[in-house]
Amino acid sequence: MSVIIEVHDLHRTYQVGQQYVHAVQGIDLRVGTGEYVAIMGSSGSGKSTLMNMLGCLDTPTSGSYQLNGTEVSSFTDDELAAIRNREIGFVFQTFNLLARSSAAQNVELPLVYAGLKGTERRQKVAEAMAAVGLTDRANHKPNELSGGQCQRVAIARALVNNPSLILADEPTGNLDSVTSEEIMGILDGLNQQGHTVLIVTHEADIAAHCHRIIRLHDGEIVSD
């Protein structure tokens, strides 16, 4: 199995006033291509900070992070933005959809940033919408969709660039239990198709879908 994530001695320290907060402390981690991983921990455990660094939304204070063999820990903001768009698909608890854009337009955004031409964009959007069962909702705006449908749109947007890695941060946090299981079914299916999926969650029933569970406490991995 090839390695998609390789982290060594990763630290992230924040200064809050006169205090220093050691959010992540010396993490070592390897994730293989095609794995299905849950990152768990209580509030303040460092799981969101770790996710932000793995997603190239933040950079470590020290340590090494290789994504698909590329050392990204010292990348500039522009370099991080480029690798995010190329390599990573994000699914957030709050969906992060543009309210005035249709579902299809929301899904299309990463392709616009990637510079794809209109015909190719439309084809990829149609495929992504079909993959999450929302072909008939392509022209609906977020306020015309249920919470579960909005999260499906977000998953389609995460998929549309065929990323190496899908990162889902509390993807069912705003959903009822039945809809949560539907969303997890989609993520299960994506993993079965070969996608590498990492989920940050504090819910044991959500983590149970994954094949590997990493638990954090005070910025350190306490079980894997």
User: Which pTM does this prediction carry?
Assistant: 0.87
Q: Which superfamily is assigned to 35-59+76-223 in CATH?
A: P-loop containing nucleotide triphosphate hydrolases (3.40.50.300)
Q: Report the pLDDT averaged over residues 72-100.
A: 88
Q: Report the pLDDT averaged over residues 131-152.
A: 91
Comparison of pLDDT for 92 and 214, the residue scoring more: 214
Q: What are the structural domain ranges in the chain?
A: 35-59+76-223
Alpha-carbon distance 77 to 177, whole Å? 37
Q: What is the mean pLDDT of the chain?
A: 90
Banded pLDDT at 168 (limits 50, 70, 90):
very high
**Three-state secondary structure string covering the chain:** CCEEEEEEEEEEEEEECCEEEEEEEEEEEEEECCCEEEEECCCCCCHHHHHHHHCCCCCCCEEEEEECCEECCCCCHHHHHHHHHHHEEEEECCCCCCCCCCHHHHHHHHHHHHCCCHHHHHHHHHHHHHHCCCHHHCCCCHHHCCHHHHHHHHHHHHHCCCCCEEEEECCCCCCCHHHHHHHHHHHHHHHHCCCEEEEECCCHHHHCCCCEEEEEECCEEEEC
Answer whether residue 217 shows pLDDT above 80.
yes
